Amino acid sequence: MNLILFGPPGAGKGTQAKYLVQKLNNFQISTGEMLREEIQNNSEIGKKIVNDMNEGKFVSDQIVNTLIEKKLSDPDKKNRLIFDGYPRSLSQAKNLEELLKKTNQVIDFIFFLNVDKDVIIKRIENRKLIEKRSDDDLKTFIKRYDTYMATTKPVLDFYSKNPKFYEIDGSSEITEITAKIDNFINV
């Protein structure tokens, strides 16, 4: 089973992805984590993206698509993918469609975790205390949120027409969101 977790930064995609990884024995495909790893390893990609990441800007589609292609082409991960934070632009969504076709896979569920900006701001403030992510200060968050609204909203419009699209109220408790997802996937 392949799933997409969709929603603004701080909506809880990562938390639900980790739960689903355990439950389905799948793999979390978090472009944010993959990009942070590149920075930690001080790789060529890492050096190129560090400023954009710290400023809350999107990393180029080309870099992200290349990282994603590696994961989709891995036979061990076939039909065991949980996308968290990808796709984030229409061009990424189209790239994903092509890669799925090429690797003979489909998306089974698209979950949109819908949360208001105020609720997310509170969550980001808490997460900053726990994880100490350098892109988590409030100014950067607002930039990330606005980038999401401008660039990712068209992806939402694109996926909302898909019969596999489900909207979930992401402002409820983590366990409630998990229960709703469980109910939809029904395994």
Query: Least distance from C-beta 143 to ligand AMP, angstroms?
Result: 8
Position 181 contacts ligand AMP (CB under 6 A): no
- State which residue, 88 or 180, has the beta carbon closest to ligand AMP: 88
- State which residue, 9 or 75, has the beta carbon closest to ligand AMP: 9
Tokens standing for residue 19: 């739960």
Phi, psi of 84 (to 5 degrees): -130, 105
- State which residue, 62 or 186, has the beta carbon closest to ligand AMP: 62
The closest of 26, 23, 28, 38 to 5, measured between CA atoms, is: 28
Query: Least distance from C-beta 59 to ligand AMP, angstroms?
Result: 4
Instruction: Specify the DSSP element, H or E, that contains 164.
Output: none
- Decide if 20 contacts 180 (C-beta within 8 A): no
Residue 112: strand pairing partners: 6, 167
- Window 53 to 112, contacts with ligand AMP (CB under 6 A): 53, 56-59, 64, 85-86, 88, 92
How far, in Å, CA of 30 to CA of 153, rounded? Answer: 19
What's the N-to-C CA distance of the chain in angstroms? Answer: 10
Query: Least distance from C-beta 147 to ligand AMP, angstroms?
Result: 7
Position 31 contacts ligand AMP (CB under 6 A): yes
- Tell me which residues touch ligand AMP (CB under 6 A): 9, 31-32, 35, 52-53, 56-59, 64, 85-86, 88, 92, 135, 144
